[in-house]
Amino acid sequence: MTAATYCERHPDAETALTCGRCGIAICPQCLIHTPGGIRCPDCAQMRRPPMYELGTRELLLAVGVAAILAAPLGFVGSILVGPTRAAGLFSLLIALLIGSGAGAIVAESISRATGRKRGLTMQLIAVAGIVAAGMLRIFFADIALERVLQDTAGLVLVAVAAFAAWGRLR
């Protein structure tokens, strides 16, 4: 008869499992599935992929790129998608196309400037840059503040751009 084996981390848990790397006994509560088999928490070395680890340099670069892109995007947006009270189908289609392009430009620029970093922080920075561009569009187009919510094409433009950038930086 073999002696019972107990988990190294949970002495009251009897187990027949061992770490595939170091060979210590682990219970089902401790085991971590990895591409190389089951591992103990020490051997699994669970850490985020490098593309999601951000330093101060990357954050400053991302904010800088988003801020720099906001002015030209806002200016071009004010020219191509002018403020209208009742947006027709054509202006909504143009807003969809320009919004998806603007979101892709912002996301790709931020991604390249930061060495292909991604994640929630980068997504939020990109959306903030797009919202800033939308606000500058309102300024450049000289839209009265009470008419901002009536500018359907402008709202579609900003929403589509934000959605496109969010998806690319996932």
Q: How far apart are CA 118 and CA 50, in angstroms?
A: 9
**What is the length of the chain?**
170
Specify the pTM: 0.74
Q: With bands split at pLDDT 50, 70 and 90, how would you rate the model's confidence at 35? A: confident
**Residue 4 shares a structural domain with residue 34:** yes
**What pLDDT score was predicted for residue 96?**
93
**What pLDDT score was predicted for residue 86?**
63
**Residue 81 shares a structural domain with residue 24:** no
**Residue 144 shares a structural domain with residue 65:** yes
Q: Where is average pLDDT lowest: 5-19, 48-62, 139-153?
A: 139-153
**Residue 106 shares a structural domain with residue 79:** yes
Residue range 21-30: mean pLDDT, rounded: 92
Proportion of the chain above pLDDT 70, given as a percent: 95
Render pLDDT for 56-77 as a digit per residue (tens, 0 to 9). Answer: 999 999 999 999 999 999 999 8
**Residue 59 shares a structural domain with residue 142:** yes
**What pLDDT score was predicted for residue 1?**
46
Range of the domain at 19: 1-46
**Residue 60 shares a structural domain with residue 127:** yes
Residue range 4-14: mean pLDDT, rounded: 89
Render pLDDT for 77-133 as a digit per residue (tens, 0 to 9). Answer: 888 887 766 668 888 899 999 999 999 999 999 999 999 999 999 999 999 999 999
Q: With bands split at pLDDT 50, 70 and 90, how would you rate the model's confidence at 34? A: confident
The listed range with the strongest mean pLDDT (41-55, 57-71, 139-153) is: 57-71
**Residue 19 shares a structural domain with residue 42:** yes
Residue 47 has pLDDT above 80, yes or no: no
Cα 160 off chain centre by: 15
**What pLDDT score was predicted for residue 45?**
79
CA angle at residue 164 from 160 to 170, to 5 degrees? 145
Phi and psi dihedrals of 4, rounded to 5? -70, 145
Q: How far apart are CA 136 and CA 119, in angstroms?
A: 26
**Residue 12 shares a structural domain with residue 82:** no
**Residue 144 shares a structural domain with residue 69:** yes
How many domains are there within the chain?
2
